[in-house]
A and B are shown apart, each in its own frame.
Chain A
Amino acid sequence: MNLDRLLDHLGEWLRGTGPESDVVVSTRIRLARNLAGLPFTNRASPHQKAEVESRLREAIESLDLNHPLRYVGMTEISTVDRQFLVERQLVSRELATVLEGPRGVAFDERESVSIMINEEDQLRMQSMRSGFDLDAAWNTIDQIDDLVESKVEYAFSDEFGYLTACPTNVGTGMRASVMLHLPALGLTKQIEKAFKALQKINLVVRGLYGEGSRALGDFYQISNQITLGKSEAAALNDIRAVISEVIRYERLARSTLMREARQSFQDKVARALGTLQSSIMMTSEETMELLSAVRLGVHLKMLGDLSLTSLNELFIQTQPAHLQKLMGVPLDGEERNAARARHLKHKLRSIGAE
C-alpha cells in the first residue's frame, strides 16, 4: 500500500476540533483482545502468527463499516514508512520496530480507527477522536469490538474478563488516553502538583508517544490504569472527572498568565515564532517546544492569522519520517535538521504568519 497519500492529510487526532480542543488534543480508547485457544504473540510460532494475522485480517476487512479498514503488513513496508505510521499514532513503536514476524495494522481513511494485529496482544483496537470525546470514542470501538467478536472467538473468562498477555490489561482490556496540551501549567510550575494528585487516583501520565516517552512540548497523555474490577463506564467516568479538573486548572493558569505576565508571555510567543521562521537548523524536539508556545499564543488569540490546523500540520510534518517522505529522500540527522528549518520557514511564510 502506498502511504504517501496520507501525507496531505491530518489524521483524526490532529484535526484540532472537537470539545475542549483549546486544551485537549485528542481522545483515544483501545481494547486488547486475544483469540481463544491460541498462544499470545510472545509465545506464538511464526506459523501461528501467520494464522492469527490471516484470520483477523479477513475478519477485520470484511466488517460492515461506513469507513472500511485497510490492512498494511509491517513486513511489506519500509523502515521509514513504519516510523511514519508511528508518528501518525496508527501503530505503536513496539509493533513498528521491536516485534517481529507477521504483524500489521488496519485503519480507515480518516485515521479514526486503527487495529493492530500481533502486537503484545493479538488485537489492539483503538478509536481516536479530536478533542475531549470519550463517549464517541467508546461507542465506535465498542461497536467494532462487537462486530469482530461475531466473527472470531475471544479468550475470555467470567472471572477475569478478556485475557491479555500482560495482567495489567486483563479485565476490560481497555485503556482510555486523553492527550492534553498544558503549557500554562508548565510555565507556572504547577504541573508536578497536578500530576501527583492523578497518580493517587490510579491514572497514569505519559509523554506524547506513550510509555516511556518524554513530555515534549507540554503534551501529556493521561490514562486509566485499572482494568479489572471496574467496568468500562466506571473507568471512563473516573477519567472524565479528572480531565475536567485538569482542563479547569490549565484555563485558570492561562488567564493568570494573561493577567499577570501578558507582555513577557507575548514576548515568548513572538520569539518562538521568530525562531521557527528564521532558523537554519532545527531539531524535532526544539520544533515541538517552540510550536507549543506558538500554539498557546493561538489559543490566547495573539496570532490572528495562524490556525490550529496549520500548526498541527507543521507539528506532524516536521517529524523525522514525515519530513523524509515530504522531501522524497532519506536524510540523516543533520540533513533533517536543515530540511526541517527550511520547511518551517517556507510553510510559515506561505500561511502568512507575521
Chain B
Amino acid sequence: MKCQQCAKTSTMQITEIHGDNDFEEFHLCDDCAQKYLYAVAPKKKKIPEIVDPLTEKHCDQCGTKFIDFRNSGRLGCPHDYDVFLTELIPLLENIHGGLRHTGKTPRSRPTQKLRQQEMARLREDLQTAIHAEAYEDAARLRDRLRELEGD
C-alpha cells in the first residue's frame, strides 16, 4: 500500500479514535507518520496547580512552611520538630541512622517537665473555671500560672 500523503510505501497504520464507533484510519510512510503524530500530538496537558499538602503545611508558631525548610535546609523554631515530624523522620534516619536521642539531658529537665505538665493542667482548670463563672478560682489559677511562667 502506498502512503496516503506521498509516493512512498506505507509502513504505519494509525487509527485515530474520536469516540464510540467513530474512528479514522491512516496509512502512512515513516516520515509522514512522524509529521502526523507530531502535528496532532495533544498539546501537553496543562498540569493543574498541584497543591502539595506537604508544602502548604506550616508551623503555627513561627510560620515556617515545609517548603521553606526544603529550600533553606533550616527549620524556623523548636516547634517545627513537632509540626513536620512525619516529614523529618525519614530525613533524620538518613542523616543519623538513629532516631532517638541517647545523649546528655539538661539537668533541670525533670523539674522543667513537671512545670510544663502543671501549667497545662492549670490552663485546663482555668478554662473550666471561666466557663463555670467561678471567677475567684479563675483568678487564683491565673496567678499561679503567671508565677510558673515567670520562673
- List A residues at the B interface (Cβ < 8 Å): 34, 36-40, 42-43, 120, 142, 145-146, 149-150, 153-163, 165-168, 170-172, 174, 202, 225-232, 234
CB distance from B90 to the nearest CB of A (A): 11
- State the majority secondary structure of interface residues on A: loop
A167 engages B100 (CB within 8 Å): no
B109 engages A156 (CB within 8 Å): yes
A160 engages B101 (CB within 8 Å): yes
Leading 4 A-B pairs by shortest Cβ distance: A229-B98, A161-B101, A155-B78, A43-B76
A230 engages B105 (CB within 8 Å): no
B96 engages A231 (CB within 8 Å): no
Cα-based distance from A300 to B101 in the complex (angstroms): 45
B98 engages A226 (CB within 8 Å): yes
Cα-based distance from A229 to B93 in the complex (angstroms): 9
B108 engages A39 (CB within 8 Å): no
Cα-based distance from A171 to B98 in the complex (angstroms): 10
What residue in chain B is nearest A33 (Cβ atoms)?
B106
Complex contacts, A226 vs chain B, CB 8 Å = 95-98
Q: Given A36-B78, A42-B72, A166-B75, is A150 in contact with B92 using a C-beta cutoff of 8 Å?
A: no
A/B interface sample: 25 pairs, CB < 8 A = A34-B78, A36-B78, A40-B74, A40-B78, A43-B63, A43-B76, A142-B104, A145-B104, A149-B107, A149-B108, A153-B108, A154-B106, A156-B109, A157-B78, A160-B81, A160-B92, A160-B101, A163-B78, A170-B81, A171-B96, A226-B95, A229-B100, A231-B102, A232-B104, A234-B102
Complex contacts, B54 vs chain A, CB 8 Å = none
Complex contacts, B108 vs chain A, CB 8 Å = 149-150, 153
Cα-based distance from A262 to B98 in the complex (angstroms): 48
What residue in chain B is nearest A41 (Cβ atoms)?
B74
Cα-based distance from A170 to B59 in the complex (angstroms): 18
B104 engages A43 (CB within 8 Å): no
What residue in chain B is nearest A142 (Cβ atoms)?
B104
Q: Give the contacting residue for B77; candidates A38, A161, A232; CB below 8 A.
A: A38
CB distance from B105 to the nearest CB of A (A): 7
Complex contacts, B72 vs chain A, CB 8 Å = 42
Complex contacts, B112 vs chain A, CB 8 Å = 153
A230 engages B81 (CB within 8 Å): no
**Most chain A beta-carbon neighbours within 10 Å: one of B77, B81, B105, B107:** B77
Cα-based distance from A226 to B103 in the complex (angstroms): 12
CB distance from A350 to the nearest CB of B (A): 48
CB-defined interface of B72-86 with A at 8 Å, one 1/0 digit per residue?
111111100100000
Cα-based distance from A229 to B107 in the complex (angstroms): 19
Cα-based distance from A327 to B65 in the complex (angstroms): 50
Cα-based distance from A165 to B39 in the complex (angstroms): 52
Interface hits, B27-68 → A, CB 8 Å: 61-64
CB distance from A149 to the nearest CB of B (A): 5
A167 engages B106 (CB within 8 Å): no
B62 engages A39 (CB within 8 Å): yes
Given contacts A40-B74, A166-B75, 16 further A-B contacts (CB under 8 A): A42-B76, A43-B64, A145-B104, A149-B107, A154-B106, A156-B109, A159-B99, A159-B101, A160-B81, A165-B74, A167-B95, A170-B92, A171-B98, A172-B103, A228-B92, A229-B99
B98 engages A230 (CB within 8 Å): yes
Q: Given A163-B81, A226-B96, A228-B96, is A156 in contact with B74 using a C-beta cutoff of 8 Å?
A: no
Cα-based distance from A160 to B77 in the complex (angstroms): 14
Verify if B6 is at the interface (C-beta below 8 Å from A).
no
Cα-based distance from A172 to B101 in the complex (angstroms): 7
Q: Given A43-B64, A166-B73, is A150 in contact with B88 using a C-beta cutoff of 8 Å?
A: no
Complex contacts, A228 vs chain B, CB 8 Å = 92, 95-96, 98-101
Complex contacts, A225 vs chain B, CB 8 Å = 95
Q: Give the contacting residue for B106; candidates A40, A42, A149, A165; CB below 8 A.
A: A149
Verify if B14 is at the interface (C-beta below 8 Å from A).
no
What residue in chain A is nearest B78 (Cβ atoms)?
A155
Complex contacts, B148 vs chain A, CB 8 Å = none
Q: Give the contacting residue for A230; candidates B62, B88, B102, B107; CB below 8 A.
A: B102
